[in-house]
Amino acid sequence: MEEILNVKIEKLDHFGRGIVRDRGIIFVENTLPGDVVDIKITKDKKGIKEADVLRYQERSKFYRESICPYSLECGGCNIINLTYPEQLQYKRKKVEELIERMLKENIKVKDVITSDEEFNYRNKITLHLDNKHMGLYQKKSNDLVEIDRCALVSERINKIILRIKEYIKNNDVIIYDVTIKTTTLEEDMIIVHGRLDYEKFRKEFTDVKVIIINDQVVTKDQYIKERILDEEFYISNHSFFQVNRYTTKLLYQKVIDLIKDEKYEKCLDLYCGTGTISLLVSNYVQKVYGIEEEKDAITDAKRNKELNGRDNVEFIWGKTEDYIDKFSDIDLIIVDPPRAGLDKKTKDNLLRIGSSRIVYVSCDPATLMRDLNDLKRDYKICEISICDMFPNTYHIESIALLEKKR
């Protein structure tokens, strides 16, 4: 007979799973610190175990009901049951643990930047289809959880989800996936892959500004527009854009606050996307160079430069690591890489250039700490703050300010 254990969850790990120590470490999904649960071990690899909850005997004092009917199955919002103040505490502690363990420094998180909106914040969702069932993949699998709505996306997106579901039900189509993007200016984009009548789909969604089917734009327009801190930005199909419609402006404001008290001549904005940070900091810097590898994004960045009337910004299409060695005499560098963080060549060049300040915007605190550990040879880490771009999930956006040691 399988062993059933009765345990009390001690804390959450860095992926939002409960941890308990009982003859080794056991990770238990869907639990919170203080939960008393009956569990069944499902995996055991050299004393590192995973378990499922069979019964909750007692719930944590930080527990709250989930507002999403799919959250247990879908797993995307893996800390949705944690009260929001406690989510922020968890994120702060997680970053401070990483600072201590990886940086071996006694730095506390300075600011925890958050907006009042912990739901309906996302401006983008990608849904997958299995026959005519549309939904999200369960964590680490291709098993579909059919949904009618998602608690994290804007209500505008939820309405489009229902309309697309209806269209699929009533038409002879085979759709593989659908991405919906919206902006606070109420401009929408639908990106579809599959076998369907392009014209019929377009006519059904005439109110949607941009429709892209199998990489072909079938509408007059090909980009949607967003406004952040009084600047406007075009966003195309493959361009990255920050997903939180409420906290993105707070994140960018933090970047501005970190640099605005000094006079800089030349700034590098590495991994610049659609040029958002480049254009926002161009008000405070004489010349900005933005580098980005995604063609759609750099095309948007160049358009955004025109749209906002800036002539002190230059955008370069290419990989950061292929261009960075051409730069020297830069006094400010801003980096905002993907989760993988900075590669060695880029870090070596940051040390070679030796700008007086580096602002590092990161969506993975573990790779941030790894990179700061390499940069701290020549840089003092002045502050690390976090911005809650991803409420109800374990993901964390951090911003670090580094100053060249004298």
Ligand X SMILES: C[S@@+](CC[C@H](N)C(=O)[O-])C[C@H]1O[C@@H](n2cnc3c(N)ncnc32)[C@H](O)[C@@H]1O
Q: Which residues of the shown chain bind ligand X in the complex (CB under 6 A)?
A: 240-242, 271-274, 276-277, 291-294, 297, 319-321, 336-338, 363
Q: How far is the CB of 182 from ligand X (least distance, A)?
A: 16
Q: How far is the CB of 239 from ligand X (least distance, A)?
A: 7
**Whose Cβ is closer to ligand X: residue 233's or residue 379's?**
233
Cβ-closest residue to ligand X? Answer: 273
Q: How far is the CB of 120 from ligand X (least distance, A)?
A: 21
Greatest alpha-carbon pair distance for the chain in Å reads: 72
Residues in the chain: 406
**Whose Cβ is closer to ligand X: residue 27's or residue 271's?**
271
**Whose Cβ is closer to ligand X: residue 35's or residue 336's?**
336
Q: How far is the CB of 378 from ligand X (least distance, A)?
A: 22
Contact 54, 72 (CB under 8 A): no
Q: CA torsion, points 276, 277, 278, 281, in degrees to nearest 10?
A: 130
Strand order in the sheet with 11-12: 4-8, 36-45, 48-58, 25-28, 18-21, 11-12
Strand order in the sheet with 133-137: 144-146, 133-137, 124-130, 174-182, 188-195, 210-213, 216-217
**Whose Cβ is closer to ligand X: residue 87's or residue 242's?**
242
Q: How far is the CB of 345 from ligand X (least distance, A)?
A: 10
- Measured N-to-C along each axis, helices 365-375 and 344-353 cross at an angle, to the nearest 10 degrees, of 40
**Whose Cβ is closer to ligand X: residue 356's or residue 367's?**
367
**Whose Cβ is closer to ligand X: residue 272's or residue 400's?**
272
**Whose Cβ is closer to ligand X: residue 321's or residue 371's?**
321
Tell me how far apart the terminal alpha carbons of the chain are, to the nearest angstrom. Answer: 66
Q: How far is the CB of 342 from ligand X (least distance, A)?
A: 9
Q: How far is the CB of 97 from ligand X (least distance, A)?
A: 23
**Whose Cβ is closer to ligand X: residue 321's or residue 331's?**
321
- Measured N-to-C along each axis, helices 84-98 and 365-375 cross at an angle, to the nearest 10 degrees, of 30
β 332-335/357-362 pair status? parallel
Read off φ and ψ for residue 250, nearest 5 degrees: -70, -35
Q: How many C-beta atoms surround the C-beta of residue 39 within 10 A? A: 24
The residue type found at 334 is I
Contact 269, 276 (CB under 8 A): no
Q: How far is the CB of 92 from ligand X (least distance, A)?
A: 22
Question: In the chain, helix, strand, coil percent, each to 5?
Answer: 25, 35, 40
Report the phi/psi class of residue 120: left, alpha or beta, with left for phi > 0 and alpha for psi in -120 to 50.
left
**Whose Cβ is closer to ligand X: residue 53's or residue 251's?**
251
Q: How far is the CB of 210 from ligand X (least distance, A)?
A: 18
